[in-house]
Each structure stands twice: as C-alpha cells, then as structure tokens.
C-alpha cells in the first residue's frame, strides 16, 4: 500500500438515478448510517425509491433528457440538499465524464472513478490500447478509429469482423459484417445508429470471434494501488447484445482459466490507474482463449450475482473507496466462490411479439420467495410503469450450492413469480432454464437467437 490514508466520511449522498438501482443504493446507505437524497422525474413521483429516501427532489419533466440526463438540475439538487457525494447508479450519467467533473467542481465527491478515467476507458479504442500496454490479449482489430482506409483495414483484419461504435454501449452501433460485400451497408448502419444514440458516428473494427462467450470480471480498486478481482460472470445469454441472464461462476471456466481472467482484469485496472468498482469484459473462444473487450466504469446491472458469490456489498465498497478507505479484502478473499448464482432480468416486454415494451399498471405483484432467493425491484401492486425509461422491472437472483440445484431453484422461482397487468419476460426465462444447451452449460452469445429461430420454425410448421 502506498500513499497517505485520508478518510472523509459522508453524511448525505444523492443518488442520480431512478427505480431499482436507486433503491438498491438507498438500502446500503441506510445500513451505513448515511442519509439519502432521491431525485425523480415527474413520471416517477410515486416510485418506491422516492418513498424510501430520506429526502426527494423533483428534477424535471418525464423525458430523460429533461431530468435524469440533466446535469445542472442534478448538481443543483445535490447542492440545495447539502449532499457530500453523488452516486450515479448505472445507465443515464453513470459513465459521463462531464457529470463527474461537474459534481467534483461543485465541491462534492463523485462515487466512482475519476472523470479522466471515465473519458479514457469510455473510448473503446483507447481502452484497447490500455489493454495492449498491460499485456492483455485483445481481438485483432483496427486499434483505433477507422477512417477513409476502412476497406483496407477490414481486409487486413480478415472477415468476419465486428463494427463497433467508439462511444456508448448496450449493443447500440454494433454490426457483424460477414463479408466484404456487406461492408459498406453495415458500416453505414452502425455509424447511423452510433450518431443517433451517442452523438458520435466514429467506429472501430474487431475480428469477429465465432460462437464466443461473454465473460466479465468484477474488480475493485482503492486510492492506494490495491486491486482485487472477483469470480467471473457468464453473460452469454443475450438478445441483440442485451443481457437477459447472468450467472457466476461460469460453467465453462475452470480454476486455472479463472485465475488468468482475474490476473488480466487486474493488469488492465492497474495500467489505467483506475479507482472504484468496475467491470472488465472479455470475449472467450471455445478454446478458452479470451480477449479484452472493454471496461465498464460503473456498477453493472448484474452486480448482485457477484455479491451473492463473494459475500460482499459492492455498493458499500464503492462508497468506502470514495470516502478514501483502503480495500478491506485481499485477492485471496475476493476470489472465494461461496455458491452458484444466477440473475434473471425481468422486463416489462412481450417476448411473444419481438420483446415489444409493455408498460402499464401492475395489477398483481407476488414475487418469488424462499431459500436462496433475492428480488431487486421497485415494483408494487398498483404501480404504473412509465413509458419513458428502461423496461427492467425486477432482477430475480437465485443462489444454490451447485449449478444443478441452482437451475432447479430457478425453475421453481420463475413458476411462482406472479405479475399481472403487464406482459413480462418471465415465460421466456422459463424456456431458457428448460433449454438442453443451457442446462448443459453449452451457451454462447448466439444461443438465445437460435432458441427463438427454432421456436419460430416449430410454430410455423404447426400452422
């Protein structure tokens, strides 16, 4: 450990977010004896996070651009309530360097990495350069933003390639290009989507790894050079680059590979001089070779999976690091796998009609319960889901001593989870836990699409 330890306790923290994650942060703040301030848009006036916080401030109209993305309004709310620090949650402004700077400039602590780290790692091409400097393998690619010589760059990498937006995430601005004949069309589509979502149409190229797994490693780093990495999460169950199911540990990763993943994640974090909680994401080939993808400089939606496996409160860890506390656990302690855990993202979507959003009023809400069950949600009977925001309404986190019992428990929990008034993805999750490939642990990022294709073919053959 290097550097003088300076701890500055927080008395009050504002949560610059909404719904489930805001409620999650509030609960940890209460346990730590720290007062909480919620912010809300007009559509969220009756949200549970507003009720649970010690104070609440309306920051604007319902659209995100006028509320949860309004830096001035959030910083002003923090000032007038006397907050010492701001927790960004995930999504919205959580990876916005300008927001982190504005919070710091206003004399408060941003609970997360520095603005410079967010800027540096937020540009995916720059993050690749950091990984290479750290000696961590990356997928062959353009190693930077592509320009007019894009065709030459693509040929050098070799098809198939993945076109990726330099900024952003969530699967936006990403297109698989299988051959040179498709390059111009796919490039134009990716650039247009990137421009629409992130205001920046720059892209870079990566070699497309066929049938990969999406493996990520949760990390934590303090102000004194200490870094720990936890057991991996397998996030391969995706639809259009959006995660639906996450589990830890991965059924595909053995202990030796796990140790290599953790070592690689720590190398990237140390090279970037990162501080706070974050996630290093990798693509893993069927050979168990893995390649760095990116760093998420925030808490992940799926962080409860790691919390259950390692027995640590990651939100508390974030807050303690921001206060100047050194990490309280060693790498040996962080690496312990206490159980198997899985998270099912329950969205208000109609999975039978292309996962169309299905907002509305919750007429009945009876979540699952029992041994090894955790529900992270801001729903309740009578709550009206707004049309303006993400469709996530609950995270069902299940734990068990081994994967076989984990899947049995998941099937039980999904069967007893009752939601009426809106359509949800629960029926689709029930299909996932019954799928033979998933049960056997033979999943990759294309399994859900294959499941849907098979289901469509079966449905058409019955007509």
HSE, CB side, 13 Å, CA atoms: give it for residue 348: 25
Whose tokens are 């007009």? That residue is 42
pLDDT digits (tens, 9 = 90+) for 368-384: 999 999 999 999 999 99
Query: Which class for 439: exposed (0-12), middle (13-18), buried (19 or more C-beta within 10 A)?
Result: middle
pLDDT digits (tens, 9 = 90+) for 45-92: 999 999 999 999 999 999 999 999 999 999 999 999 999 999 999 999
Same domain, 445 and 332: yes
Q: Residue 209's pLDDT is what?
A: 87
Per the DSSP assignment, residues forming a β-bridge with 85 are 13, 109
Q: What is the mean pLDDT of residues 362-373?
A: 98
pLDDT digits (tens, 9 = 90+) for 140-165: 888 788 999 999 999 999 999 999 99
pLDDT digits (tens, 9 = 90+) for 312-352: 999 999 999 999 999 999 999 999 999 999 999 999 999 99
In angstroms, the CA 365 to CA 395 distance is 14
Show which residues are catalytic: 298
Residues of the chain with pLDDT > 90, as a percent, come to 88
Same domain, 267 and 285: yes
Q: What is the CATH number of the domain that holds 359?
A: 3.30.470.20
- Which of 151, 183, 207 terminates a domain? The answer is 207
HSE, CB side, 13 Å, CA atoms: give it for residue 158: 3
Is residue 103, in this structure, part of any structural domain at all?
yes
Inter-residue contact 321 to 256 (CB < 8 Å) = no
In angstroms, the CA 414 to CA 290 distance is 32
Confidence of residue 1 (pLDDT cuts 50, 70, 90): very low
Is residue 278, in this structure, part of any structural domain at all?
yes
Is residue 3, in this structure, part of any structural domain at all?
no
Q: Which of these, 302, 290, 265, 264, lies nearest to 280 by C-alpha position? A: 265
pLDDT over threshold 70, residue 463: no
- Six-digit token string for 118: 């967010």
Residues of the chain with pLDDT > 70, as a percent, come to 98
Q: How many domains does the chain have?
A: 3
Q: Residue 410's pLDDT is what?
A: 98
Q: What is the mean pLDDT of the chain?
A: 95
- Which of 168, 187, 207 terminates a domain? The answer is 207
pLDDT digits (tens, 9 = 90+) for 243-294: 999 999 999 999 999 999 999 999 999 999 999 999 999 999 999 999 999 9
Same domain, 433 and 322: yes
Same domain, 202 and 260: no
Same domain, 269 and 235: yes
Q: Which of these, 319, 410, 426, 318, lies nearest to 371 by C-alpha position? A: 410
Q: Residue 141's pLDDT is what?
A: 86
Q: What is the CATH number of the domain that holds 80?
A: 3.40.50.20
Q: Residue 56's pLDDT is what?
A: 98
Domain limits at 16? 12-111
């Amino acid at each position: 450990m290097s550097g003088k330890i300076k701890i500055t306790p927080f008395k009050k923290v504002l949560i610059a977010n909404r719904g489930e994650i805001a409620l999650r942060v509030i609960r940890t703040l209460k346990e730590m004896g720290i007062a909480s301030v919620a912010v809300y848009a007009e559509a969220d006036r009756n949200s549970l996070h507003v009720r649970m916080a010690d104070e609440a401030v309306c920051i604007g109209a319902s659209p995100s651009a006028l509320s949860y993305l309004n830096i001035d309004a959030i910083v002003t709310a923090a000032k007038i309530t006397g907050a010492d620090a701001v927790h960004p949650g995930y999504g919205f402004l959580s990876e916005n360097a300008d927001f982190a700077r504005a919070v710091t400039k206003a004399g408060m602590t941003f609970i997360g990495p520095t603005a410079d780290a967010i800027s540096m790692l937020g540009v995916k091409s720059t993050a690749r350069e950091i990984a290479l400097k750290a000696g961590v393998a990356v997928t062959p690619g353009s190693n930077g933003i592509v320009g007019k010589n894009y065709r030459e760059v693509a040929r050098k990498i070799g098809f198939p390639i993945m076109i990726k937006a330099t900024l952003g995430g969530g699967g936006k601005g990403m297109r698989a290009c299988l051959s040179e004949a498709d390059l111009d069309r796919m490039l134009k589509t990716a650039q247009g989507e990137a421009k629409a979502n992130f205001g920046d149409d720059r892209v870079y190229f990566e070699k497309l790894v066929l049938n990969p797994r999406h493996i990520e490693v949760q990390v934590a780093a303090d102000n004194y050079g200490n870094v720990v990495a936890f057991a991996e999460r397998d996030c391969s169950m995706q639809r259009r680059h959006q995660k639906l199911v996450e589990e830890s540990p991965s059924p595909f990763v053995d202990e030796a590979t796990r140790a290599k993943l953790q070592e690689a994640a720590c190398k990237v974090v140390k090279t970037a001089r990162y501080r706070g909680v974050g996630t290093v994401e990798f693509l893993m080939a069927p050979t168990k070779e893995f390649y760095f993808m990116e760093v998420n400089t925030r808490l992940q939606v799926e962080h409860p999976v790691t919390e259950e496996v390692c027995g640590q409160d990651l939100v508390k860890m974030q807050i303690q690091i921001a206060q100047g506390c050194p990490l309280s656990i060693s790498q040996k302690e962080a690496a312990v796998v206490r159980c198997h855990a899985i998270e099912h993202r329950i969205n208000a979507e109609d999975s039978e009609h292309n996962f169309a959003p299905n907002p509305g009023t919750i007429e009945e809400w009876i979540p699952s319960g029992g041994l090894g069950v955790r529900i992270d949600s801001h729903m309740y009977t009578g709550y009206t889901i707004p049309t303006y925001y993400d469709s996530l309404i609950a995270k069902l986190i299940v734990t068990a001593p081994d994967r076989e019992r984990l899947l049995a428990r998941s099937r039980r929990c999904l069967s007893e989870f009752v939601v009426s008034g809106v359509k949800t993805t629960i029926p689709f999750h029930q299909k996932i836990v019954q799928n033979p490939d998933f049960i056997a642990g033979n999943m990759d990022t294309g399994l859900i699409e294959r499941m849907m294709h098979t289901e469509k073919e079966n449905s058409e053959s019955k007509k």
